[in-house]
Structure 1
């Protein structure tokens, strides 16, 4: 009798365990998890070359487009060098043109003609170099976004240290840390419901990045969720809650 009771109790517990597992397959993976809204990209701009800032064309809060000039250094010497090389190239072109007829009539030697053409080519190369040096005196934004910090002002010296910080706020990212036992259950492009703390609105995002390594110390891994922010309703630095639905349901 004692053995029979024990067997029945064990069977009942096993049935409950299977039933609970089956029900969980159709429930959300986890309760809402804490997350943090961050820019989808955040870059600190520095200058290719050292120099004194002539002008910074943007201020904190300004929007910038990719490729837009945001800073210029003093470039008096570079402009003068460019003009000098332009004059050399113009002279070399005129010299070749003036002597073209003489060369056809064999009034100048092949060696003299070659020297003139070489002078012209060298001047053209020098012009390209001068233009590159001048272009290095200005910095363009590598992304479209918003200026979130202006570190230096006109008149200050700039080198490899950043002078401006720009962030992309559309799309916006949410970083979520998940327990290791969920690794493999989260997939890219999975829909995530996200709610900023203190707000009633729920936003839908997509998983874009899944950390390939589990952190051994915390037994967790992180995922990045991307959200559309066209309406600019979401702000970076805000805490949020994220819910992942079960893909197997």
Structure 2
């Protein structure tokens, strides 16, 4: 009988302890695909303020604010009358030096011209060609070409004004665009470069636009517990303007 009561007390103790322990919770890691739409801001992928290599008076501007430009397109020309005259003189000297070498080639073959004399003429020709090349470079410095394809957003000078080291024009690249997004630190490592996203502008411009994660910031801001990512958004037709607020969404089907 005493043995029976001992077993009963032991069973009651075990059942009481089991009831006192909380049930294990089903903890799941946060998923970036469950976050819904995240705020972002569309920005140009590149912004350039152009300056001239040399100082001079602005003679011609080929573009206006809002114009599209291509890489390598001439944007401004400075007054270049002096440089053109110098180049013409240098080319005339090259032409004369070549004729001189040609005329004396027969004398050299007949032994009537020493190696030293022939070498002097060839050197004169080479020096004239180098001076002509230098003059051409100085002339081309009077033009400034666009280093990127983009859109003119600022134009600071007009023909007749002095161009110096200060910028005379600003160009931005709108294809592609960049979308900057701030993420919570618990998603660090879950977002990889190359992941696809859908971008939705705050202004209704049609359906979502496909983008790709281009950059994941390697630093986490300790104060806010966040890090930044950059999404690359193709914009071939320049439908999307820079400066527009937007939302992005990570869709699992886009990253399968």
Contact 1:78–1:134 (CA under 8 A) maintained in structure 2: yes
**1:109 Cα shift?**
2.4
- Give the stretch that moved more between structures: 109-118 or 195-204: 195-204
Out of 118, 133, 136, the residue aligned to residue 131 of structure 1 is: 136
**1:231 Cα shift?**
3.5
> 1-side partners of 2:187 and 2:252: how far apart?
11
- Structure-2 residue corresponding to 1:197: 202
Contact 1:29–1:246 (CA under 8 A) maintained in structure 2: no
Q: How does 1:111-126 map to 2 (within 5 A)?
A: 111-126=116-131
Contact 1:51–1:159 (CA under 8 A) maintained in structure 2: yes
Q: How does 1:23-172 map to 2 (within 5 A)?
A: 25=31, 28-172=33-177
Out of 16, 20, 23, the residue aligned to residue 6 of structure 1 is: 20
Are 1:241 and 2:247 counterparts?
yes
Out of 221, 225, 246, the residue aligned to residue 219 of structure 1 is: 225
> 2-side partners of 1:142 and 1:80: how far apart?
28
> 1-side partners of 2:237 and 2:113: how far apart?
72
The answer for unaligned runs of 5 or more in structure 1 is none
**1:88 Cα shift?**
0.8
Q: TM-score, normalised by structure 2?
A: 0.86
> RMSD in angstroms over aligned alpha carbons?
2.1
The answer for unaligned runs of 5 or more in structure 2 is 1-14
SS at structure 1 position matched to 2:33: coil
Are 1:181 and 2:186 counterparts?
yes
Q: 1:218 to 1:155 in 2, by over 3 A?
A: farther
Contact 1:172–1:229 (CA under 8 A) maintained in structure 2: yes
SS at structure 2 position matched to 1:201: coil
Q: TM-score, normalised by structure 1?
A: 0.88
- Give the stretch that moved more between structures: 206-215 or 92-101: 206-215
SS at structure 1 position matched to 2:65: coil
User: 1:169-223 CA deviation, whole Å, 9 max, x = no partner?
Assistant: 1222211111222111111121112111142632221111111222333332211
